Structure formats: C-alpha cells, structure tokens
Structure 1
Amino acid sequence: MGYFWFIAQIVTVALVYLIASTGPTIPAIIDAVQNGTDPEDALTSMATLASVVLGMAGGLLVCWLWLRSEGRVAEVFDLTRPPPGGWRKALAWAAGATVAIVAIFLVGAPLVEALGMETPDASFVLDFVTESPLMFTLWVLGVAWLAAGLGEELLYRGFLMDRLERLRGIGNSTAAVLIIQAVLFGLPHAYQGAGGMVLTGSIGLLLGWVRLRFGGNLWACVLAHGAVDTIMMSLAYADKLGWVQV
C-alpha cells in the first residue's frame, strides 16, 4: 500500500469518527455558547455515552467500506474461532493480558508521575459512569464492551495494524507496526493527560503483540480490553458507593 492511500484511509476514518461523535454533544455546545460556560459542564452522561458509541460506529463503518473494496473484511476483522488452542487458549491469554494491563496502570502511574508527567485522570468519564445504576450498566455494555472492547480492537489492532503491515517501507518491520499503532492508540486518550497517553500507548503495544501471537485473530484482545474497562468502571462505582476505597 502506498502512503497516499494509507493517509486517505486514516484521515477519512478519523473525520467520520469526529463528525459522528460530535452530534450528541451539539446541544451542550450550543448551551455553553449561549451561556458563556464550559461545554464540558453542560454534557450529560447519556450524551457522552452516545458520542463514544456513535463515533466508533461511524469510524468502523468507514473501515468496513475500505476493507470491503478490497474483499478483506473477514480477514482483517478476524472474529472467527481462535486458532489452535481455541477458546481455552484465547481466554487464558485474555486473562493474562488483563492482569498485565492492570499491572501497567499500577506500576506505570507512579512512574510517569516521577518522570514529571501528569498521572492518568479519567475522572471526567468515570463521573458519568457512576452517575446511577442505569448509567453504570449502559457504560459497561455500550462502552467497555461494545465501543472500546470490540470497537477499538477492530479499529486499532484490526484495521490500523493491517494497514501498517501493508504499508510500503513499514510493513516489513514488526517493531515499527507495533510502535506506530501503539502511539496512535495513545493519542486519543489525551483527556487523561500525558501520563494517560503513555500508559495507554503501552497497553496498545501489549495488545498489538497479543494480536500477532494469535495470527490476527482479535478475540483475546477484545476480551482483555473489555475486562479491563469493566474492572475500572466497577471499581469507580464501588468507590462511590463506599464499598471500596480506590
């Protein structure tokens, strides 16, 4: 694949993602402009959830269209039965990756702080997640598992890694593919601060490696990603209820 088509595909995916995710937030933006307030203060949990889900749906639709033009949808969005070892191996790897990701957060947070970077702060999102039992349920199902667990893995470990593997001058270097997709995975998490981007990028590196170990099959990545996000949201909600202290 040449650089022109690579850039065209990435840009169109990003643009549609941004446009689709903006729709649910328009009322908050209008309200903020009229009242001279911060748009974040006018956002609701439901609007933010819808923004995340619709943005991912729009981005994946464009990915699907590009892949369909090549006849490679099933190959790249590989959600078939896991290869040799089957589901047992996939579940074991997903569990191991989940533990590793939690360890990255636990060890990495104080490390990035020691290096002078902001520690990851997802309180803006977690405040929406813990707003009510209903919103907690919707965020776990709609974001942790659908938009993030499934959607981000299809987008980053599926579409993006495949594009990089086919990109002239890059695709023959596994290390370059892993690093570039990890960096691009970390950048959209800028709302968590510099430390959040570094840690998220590290997680992207791990998940990219897991994807390679499974020959492109995405189930282990999807399960690990969804499990980690569910754990984080559940701990935040339990903390709000006074069940644990996080």
Structure 2
Amino acid sequence: MVNAGMGELVEIILPVRDMNTQVAFYRDMLGLHVYEPEAVQDFRDFYDVKLYTGTCMLVLHTVRGEESNSEHAPKLVFRVADLRQSRELLQEQQIEMGEIRSPENGLLICDGKDPEGNIFSLESSDEQAQQPIKVTSQPGRATTYVSINSRRGRSITLLRDNKFVIALEVAGIILLNIARTPLNLVSLLTVFLVIMALLWLRGSSWSQMGLRTPLHWRSTLLTGLIGGLVLFLMSTLVFSPIIETFVHSAPNTQLLDTVRGNPIELATTLISIWTSVAFGEELIYRGYLFNRIADVFNDSGLGWTIAVFGQAIIFGLAHIYQGLAGILLTTAYGVMAGLLYLISRRNLWPCVIAHGLVDTISTILRFTGMA
C-alpha cells in the first residue's frame, strides 16, 4: 500500500450558479458562518465565498450559466505535510496530477483526479511560495493573479491600501471634473478613460462599482422608474422652491433652451441624455467617486455617509454654470441619487434609469414650453 501522506480534509468546493441564494441557504438556514468575504451582504460579484462548518471550509464557487453541472462536481481539498512528495508518490501509481501552483502567500496547491475522474486537491504550506495579488474576480471568469513584485502588483497594493494615495486619486478626479465644467478643458470621455485606467491599475472593475447585471431586470427597471419619478417630484416640488426662496434666483438653464419647439434638437438631446449624461455621470459620481470616497474611510458606516454627501457636492459643483441655485439643486439631487444607490444594494442600473427619466421629463417639458 502506498501512503501519499494525506492529512485532514480542509475544504469542500461546491459549484453554485446563484451565489446570493446559496449563501442565504447555508448561512441563514443551516447556520454556517461566512468566513470570507467579511461584512458583505451582496455576494454577486464574488467568485468564491467561504463558510466555516466547524471542521472544514465549505467554499461556494461560481460557475458560468452555460456550463453543465457535471463539469463542476464538488471537490475535496486535503492538507498534506509535503505536497511535492505526495504528488510524486501518486504519479508513480499512475494517478493523474496537475502542476503545482501558489495562489496565496506561503500556500502550494496541486489538483488531481481519482480513478473515476473526480477532481481533488492537495495543499501544503511553503514559506518560499511567492505571494500573488488577486485581480478582479467576477462570476463566470477564472480568478487571475499578478505578482506582488511586478509593477502592476505594486500599483494594486498602493491604490487599494494607501489611504493618502486614494485621497489624492479622488482629488485628481475632482480636478478633472473642474477642468470639464466649468472650464471645458476636458471631455466627459476623458474623465471616463482616466477612471478606466485607475480601475485597471488597482485590479478592479466597473462591476465592483455597481455596473453589474441585476438578478431581476423587471424589478430593477421598476425601481429605476419609481425612483426617477420620486427624484423629479422632490426636486421640482420640494427642493427647488426652498432653494429659490433662500437664494432669490432659479437655476440658470438657458443652455438647454435649444430644444424648445425643435424636434431634431429634442431627439439628439434625448439620445445624449441616455448615453453620456445618465449613463456616464452615474458611473463617475454614484459609481466611482461614491466608492472611492468610502474607501478612504475603510468602507465604514461613517465612510458611506460621507460618500453620500461628498459625491453629491462634487456633482453639484459640476453644474456651476447653472449658478448657485443650480449647484444646490443638483447637490440635493445627488444626495437622493446616492441614497437610491445604497437602497439598490449599490447597483448602478436603477440610478441610470432614474437619472435618464428625470432629464427626459425635464427636456420634454422644456420642448413643449411648460418648463
């Protein structure tokens, strides 16, 4: 008999398709503790979720919708004292074994197949194993890693962990917005491309900012439409009269009067609203700036509170061409849109829909001469 030095069973990897539903079952119904990630309520953007069973880890692993269940059977993970020796002993017995890899600092893993083709893994500790950094892990995609000593690895570490650098990053985007409006030195596309580069440099994605596919499009659309109507009514009937009373002026929106009685201008404006304005501004303000401001404060409750008002103030200052009344009104809108973002579990689609609806109603009213 050959003993490959198997130790304790440390993980069972279970393939899942709906991460939130499966986490809710094992956590809320069976009482397992979520070990990683911590302090998270929405698990849709996580490729792996670990739950502690008391003896080993249950790892819920997202698989693509088009793949069959047979391709992703549950996998057992065993801890061994010497992975290299155990691998060689199994190979001598004609057991198919994969290459050794190091997904985490000090950890070696090797996959194999039993005589019936079921996949298992061996893992062991190794102080010489190089620590890689996990780049964005998304459902349907394999997790990728970069070396911590590479240029990108160093930039990821810096942009994820250094609060001073994060604050400088936010300040830089604010300055770009000032250059965009009112100075008109850069375009919205330029700001968007800079943010794209920053996301790549820290191994993140728009999905983590909230631009992810909703579980239910119908409820998302309904949330956006209702939210848009509420935001429009609150802005028009509540905040606008209060602001005009205090500052003794209305927002200066003469630049938007070109649509009045002009069907062609109306059509082009509506196209712009639903592309660059609603979509682009929500990604920048409610998506990127909202999350990065919260990152400065470790994503705490205080951090999210500051983020709600911080991104709203920046959004309001971007409308400085509308005068003081316009700044205050759009700041109030930014606060309400930020709350909608949180209510929607930080999914941007309801905010995009609401923003587009508010601007569409305002534009049509201006076209008809009712605004």
The TM-score normalised by the length of structure 2 is 0.51
1:153 maps to 282
In structure 2, what is the Cα distance between the partners aligned to 1:79 and 1:176?
21
1:157 positional shift: 0.7
- Which deviates further from its counterpart, 208-217 or 170-179? 170-179
Worse overlay, 69-78 or 158-167: 69-78
2:203 maps to 1:71? yes
Query: Which residue in 1 is equivalent to 2:240?
Result: 109
In 2, distance between residues paired with 1:194 and 1:22?
13
More helix by share: 1
Change (3 A) 1:136 1:91: same
For residue 10 of structure 1, report the CA deviation from its aligned partner. 2.9
Separation (CA, whole Å) in 2 of partners of 1:61 and 1:10: 15
Structure with the greater relative contact order (CA < 8 A, sep ≥ 6): 1 or 2?
Answer: 1
- TM-score, length basis structure 1: 0.75
Bigger radius of gyration among the two: 2
What is the letter of the counterpart of residue 228 of structure 1? Answer: V
Partner of 1:32: none
Task: Provide closer, same or farther for how the CA distance between residues 170 and 228 of structure 1 changes in structure 2, counting only shifts above 3 A.
Answer: same
Report 1:77-156 matches (<5 A).
Answer: 77-83=209-215, 86-103=216-233, 104-123=235-254, 125-130=255-260, 132-142=262-272, 144-156=273-285
Report the AA paired with residue 214 of structure 1: S
For residues 211 and 152 of structure 1, what CA distance do their matches in structure 2 show?
13
Q: 1:20 to 1:157 in 2, by over 3 A?
A: closer
Overall identity of the aligned pairs, in %: 28
CA distance in 2, matches of 1:197, 1:186: 5
Q: Call closer, same or farther: CA 1:236–1:105 in 2, change over 3 Å.
A: same
State the partner residue of 1:61: 193
1:164 maps to a residue whose letter is I
Select which of 156, 162, 170 maps to 2:291: 162
- Matched residue count: 209
Instruction: Report the CA distance shift for 1:121/1:20 in structure 2 as closer, same or farther (over 3 A).
Output: closer
Q: Give the 3-state SS of the residue equivalent to 1:115 in structure 2.
A: helix
Higher normalized strand content (fraction of residues): 2
Give the match for residue 212 of structure 1. 342
Residues 1:10 and 2:140 aligned together: no
Q: Deviations over 1:81-107 (max 9, x none)?
A: 224xx1122122112211122112222
Contact preservation (8 Å) 1:17, 1:59: yes
* TM-superposed deviation, 1:168: 3.3
1:81 partner SS = coil
Query: Aligned partners of 1:15, 1:204: CA distance in 2, in Å?
Result: 18
Could you say which residue in structure 2 is the equivalent of 1:193?
323
Q: Corresponding residue for 1:40? A: none
- Equivalent positions of 1:20-35 (< 5 A) are none
Alpha-carbon offset, residue 60 of structure 1 = 0.8
What is residue 27 of structure 2 aligned with on the other side? none
Pairwise CA distance, 1:77: 4.0
Query: Structure 2: which amino acid aligns with 1:107?
Result: V
**Aligned equivalents of 2:247, 2:211: Cα separation in 1:** 40
Contact 2:181/2:320 (8 A) holds in 1: no
Contact 1:76 1:159 in 2 (8 A): no
Q: Distance in 1 between matches of 2:348 and 2:278?
A: 10
Is the contact made by 1:129 and 1:233 (CA closer than 8 Å) also made in structure 2? yes
User: What is the match of residue 93 of structure 2?
Assistant: none
Segments of structure 1 that go 5 or more residues without pairing to the other structure are 26-50, 240-244
Larger deviation: 198-207 or 73-82? 73-82
Give the direction of change, closer, same or farther, for the CA distance of 1:206–1:17 in structure 2 (3 Å limit).
closer
